[in-house]
Amino acid sequence: MMKAQSGYSGRSPKRKGCLLAAAIIFTLPLALWATRTGWLPLIYKLFVVAEAPQKADFIVILGGGEGMRARTAARLYQEGYAPRILISGGFDTYKLDTLLMAELNIPSSDILTNTEATTTWSEAQQILEILKREGAASAIIVTDGYHTRRVWAVYRRLQGDPPVRLIFVQADQREGDDPWSDGKALLNLEGELQKLVFYFFRYGVFPF
Predicted local confidence at residue 65, as pLDDT = 76
For 45-173+180-203, give the CATH class. Answer: alpha beta
Predicted local confidence at residue 15, as pLDDT = 60
Domain ranges of the chain: 45-173+180-203
Return d(Cα 197, Cα 132) in angstroms, integer.
Answer: 29
Predicted local confidence at residue 30, as pLDDT = 47
Kindly tell me if the per-residue pLDDT of 61 is higher than 90: yes
DSSP 106-153: --GGGEEEE----SHHHHHHHHHHHHHHTT-SEEEEEE-GGGHHHHHH
Kindly tell me if the per-residue pLDDT of 179 is higher than 60: no
pLDDT in tens, 165-178: 999 999 987 665 65
* Average pLDDT of the residues in 14-43: 54
- pTM, two decimals, is 0.78
How are strands ordered across the β-sheet holding 138-143?
A: 111-114, 85-88, 58-61, 138-143, 165-170
pLDDT in tens, 84-117: 999 998 777 778 888 899 999 999 999 999 988 8
